[in-house]
């Protein structure tokens, strides 16, 4: 699998928080973002353990980056954070979100990806036509929306919008959700912490990506655009672009 068809970038900012509890990593065929869950001591440690465990598991999988490998990576992260909780009572409630993307097929024209996630760190596919979120937040308010108990229009202001229902190292054994996506030439896959999604909607994300020259610029410019909106959280972005110029798409 020739990863020269891909370009990656990442960026982070502390935002309004006293500590940056986000972590990210990029490799030749995978990328990941983790966000320490707020309100519990050790959030940064949980994110660090998550990203480290994911990296070891995916590197161990080698070229077999399939659904089994991603589930194994999430399970390894879950075990690592649980072990950290047990070893240090001071961080006995720490946990984190995670979103991982791994390339399963790749050629000059397109790439196939699996996205695994737990928590509210989202992923979008961005093309000339717009930005489409490919993950569903594991939050209490999202579950209420799906059950019909909360109107979708109220989700951004609901008091339960940041109550996580799945987390790495949480109180229940973790199962991540998987989504399969395809990138064509010039398309971008964006992974982020919720510090980005809290302040930028899909139209804003698409606009920033379309106005950015390369993958590093995409990541940095998305973080900067979020900072301009005054986020209350850390902001972290990791991106991969399937290389090619966007086909004469007008910039808006």
Per-residue pLDDT of 67-93, as tens digits, reads 999 999 999 999 999 999 999 999 999
Using CA of residue 71, residue 76, residue 81, residue 86, what is the dihedral sign? Answer: positive
Length of the chain in residues, anyone? Answer: 252
The gap between the terminal CA atoms of the chain, to the nearest Å, is: 35
Tell which CATH classification among 3.40.190.10, 3.40.50.300, 3.40.50.1370, 3.60.40.10 matches the domain 3-242.
Answer: 3.60.40.10
From the list 223, 4, 187, 14, the residue with the least C-alpha distance to 107 is 4
pLDDT at 192: 98
Condensed to tens digits (0 to 9), the pLDDT of residues 140-182 reads 666 655 554 444 444 555 455 567 899 999 878 899 999 999 9
The structural domains of the chain, with segments of one domain joined by +, span 3-242
Q: Quick check: 29 and 5 in contact, CB under 8 A?
A: no
Using CA of residue 69, residue 75, residue 81, residue 87, what is the dihedral sign? Answer: negative
- Residue 6, classed as helix, strand or coil, is strand
Query: Whole-model pTM?
Result: 0.90
d(CA 30, CA 44): 21
pLDDT at 252: 39
Number of H helices, E strands in the chain: 6, 10
């Amino acid at each position: 699998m020739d990863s020269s068809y891909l370009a990656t970038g990442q960026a982070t900012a502390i935002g309004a928080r006293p500590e940056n509890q986000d972590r990210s990593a990029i490799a030749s065929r995978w990328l990941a973002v983790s966000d320490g869950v707020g309100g519990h001591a050790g959030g940064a440690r949980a994110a660090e353990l998550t990203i480290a465990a994911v990296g070891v598991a995916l590197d161990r999988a080698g070229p077999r980056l399939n659904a089994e490998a991603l589930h194994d990576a999430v399970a390894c992260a879950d075990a690592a954070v649980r072990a950290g909780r047990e070893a240090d009572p001071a961080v006995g409630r720490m946990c984190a979100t995670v979103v991982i993307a791994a390339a399963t097929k790749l050629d000059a024209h397109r790439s196939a990806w699996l996205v695994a996630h737990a928590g509210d760190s989202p992923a979008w596919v961005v093309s000339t036509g717009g930005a489409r979120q490919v993950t569903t937040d594991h939050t209490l308010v999202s579950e209420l929306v799906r059950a019909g108990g909360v109107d979708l229009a109220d989700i951004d202001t609901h008091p339960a919008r940041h109550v996580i229902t799945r987390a790495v190292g949480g109180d229940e054994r973790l199962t991540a959700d998987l989504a399969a996506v395809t990138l064509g030439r010039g398309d971008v896959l964006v992974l982020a912490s919720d510090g980005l999604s809290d302040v930028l909607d899909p139209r804003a994300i698409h606009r920033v990506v379309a106005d950015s020259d390369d993958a590093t610029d995409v990541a940095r410019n998305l973080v900067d655009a979020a900072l301009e909106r005054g986020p209350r959280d850390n902001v972290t972005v990791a991106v991969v672009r399937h290389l090619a110029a966007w086909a004469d798409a007008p910039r808006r």
